[in-house]
Amino acid sequence: MAEINDRKLYLGPKLRVLRRELGLNQTRMAEGLGVSPSYLNHLERNQRPLTAQMLLRLANTYDIDIRDFTATPAEGGPGELGEILSDALVRDIGIARDEVLEVAENYPGVSEAIARFYRALTDLRRLPGDAAAADRAPAPLVAPLDWLRETIARSGNHFAEIDAGAESLASELPDDPALLQTALRARLKDRHGMAVQLVRAEILAGTLRHYDMHRRRLMLSERLAASGRLFAIAYQLCAQELAEAIAAQIARAAPPDEDSRRLAQIALTNYAAAALIMPYDRFRQAAEQSRYDLPLLRDRFGVSAEQIAHRLTSLNRTGARGIPFFMAKIDRAGIVAKRFDGEAWPFARYGGICPRWDATDAPADGSIAAQLIETLEGRRFVTLAVALPRGRARGRSMVALGCEAKHAGRIVHADGLDVERGEATGVGPTCPLCERRDCPDRALPPVTRALDLHSYERTAAPFPFRRV
């Protein structure tokens, strides 16, 4: 609370959104908080700062988490809005940064609406040929994957009801991963009449797991590692025993189409399986006690590095939070195949990653590569990258976790980094949006600046550009 007392907080738009979500008018909320309606109106219009005492009243009256309420929004914030408004379609308008900041901070609903329109526009641009072809079904307004990512981001990648159900189920099962797999098989057989069978790879013809509904048999490929087999069995059990909690969460999310609903079903069942194998309290305590030792956690819970990374991004339970990690799965070309933004994703949301981020250079032996990076705004982050095992059917890929440098003392892999005074690698959002002038690794010029080229000189950094 000392940090909150040291600065003025103008959170009017967030307060207004909270009131509307609660279905209250200003008079009723003012009564609940013990203030006058005119004072609440001043707070919502950012004419008065939100005091620490008022934050405590909000937390106690409406059961909100102060850190969530005061955190910078992950979606529709200044970075994302600035990225959208740098698109070639509107770039010539030259919208000033202070205007972008004002809209993003004071009108978050407008920012989110613009972001949704832009995602729809991006999807339309991907369509080959004539989008109005008679033999093509109308495209959804929001691509299912984008809808799912937005839904997960709004929830902070934490689904309390599913987590609680999985934790309750895990309390009836052994902790040891080898014993857990046996117990899961037995529970599927005894309670649901489902058998688990390991089969040769050629039988499944490129599929890693398949559920035969007629014979009630879960078939697992011999190519699946032990962690993959454990996860597949947990997935099947959660699909049976946590079906109500998963369905309730999907209903609240209100998928816009059938593809989005199916994606949500798979994603939330995956979430439930991870929560069953790595129950919230036991996993969070192990993470804190080991100082987020990734290999140790991987071995203790019998999971893969990617599964560990996923679970670490979901430790967002009120009153028992872990480090707010962001995560990305990246191929060798730097293309992001999967992303969870956490509280502070420092890169662009609609492009690739910065080539100066060394996540793609993680050692092939599976060891953890730690890096200290710094954004153009001077914010520092610790990132941890690990190479994933290379399968026969896929190329090399990496998974990377990251968080603000202030959390470094809680992470054993960051012990060699001087996060306060040490040299950090300067990174940007993505080359077309980055205005770092001296970057030798720039692949493209910034779309926000005019080039400054001369035949009589060649600068060390490619694509020199004007400052204004």
User: Is pLDDT at 392 greater than 70 in this prediction?
Assistant: no
- The band of 289, judged by pLDDT with boundaries at 50, 70 and 90, is very high
Provide the mean pLDDT of the chain: 84
User: pLDDT tens, 100-152?
Assistant: 877 777 777 788 788 878 877 776 666 555 444 445 555 555 678 888 888 89
pTM: 0.74
Superfamily for domain range 2-70: lambda repressor-like DNA-binding domains (1.10.260.40)
Provide the residue ranges of all domains of the chain, joining segments of one domain with +.
Answer: 2-70, 160-277, 322-430, 435-468
Among 131-140, 166-175, 237-246, 250-259, the range scoring the smallest mean pLDDT is 131-140
In this structure, are residues 346 and 378 in contact, taking their beta carbons and an 8 Å threshold? no
Q: Give the integer Cα–Cα distance in Å for 234 and 278.
A: 11
pLDDT at 125: 65
Based on the number of CB atoms within 10 Å of its own CB, is 184 exposed (0-12), middle (13-18) or buried (19 or more)?
buried
What torsion, rounded to 10 degrees, do the Cα atoms 343, 349, 353, 359 define? 30
- What is the per-residue pLDDT for 450? 77
Looking at residue 219, its pLDDT comes to 92
Q: Say if CB 403 and CB 382 are below 8 A apart.
A: yes
What is the average per-residue pLDDT within 192-208?
A: 88
328: helix, coil or strand? strand
Long-range pairs of 219-222 with CB within 8 A, sequence gap ≥ 24: 220/196, 222/198
Q: Which CATH class is domain 160-277?
A: mainly alpha
Q: For 210-224, 276-290, 305-319, 383-397, which range has the lowest pLDDT when averaged over its residues?
A: 383-397
Using one digit for the tens of pLDDT, what is the confidence trace for 317-362? 988 999 999 999 988 777 888 888 877 788 877 667 888 888 888 8
pLDDT over 80 at 374, yes or no: yes
Predicted pLDDT at 394:
58
DSSP 190-221: HHH--EEEEE-HHHHTT-SEEEETTTTEEEEE
Residue 308 Cα distances to 165, 314, 400, angstroms: 20, 10, 11
Going by pLDDT thresholds of 50, 70 and 90, the confidence category of residue 3 is: very low
CATH 3.30.410 corresponds to the domain 322-430:
no
Q: What is the pLDDT of residues 26-84, one digit of tens each?
A: 888 889 899 998 898 888 887 888 888 888 888 888 877 777 677 655 445 677 787 78
Which residue shows structure tokens 């209100």?
254
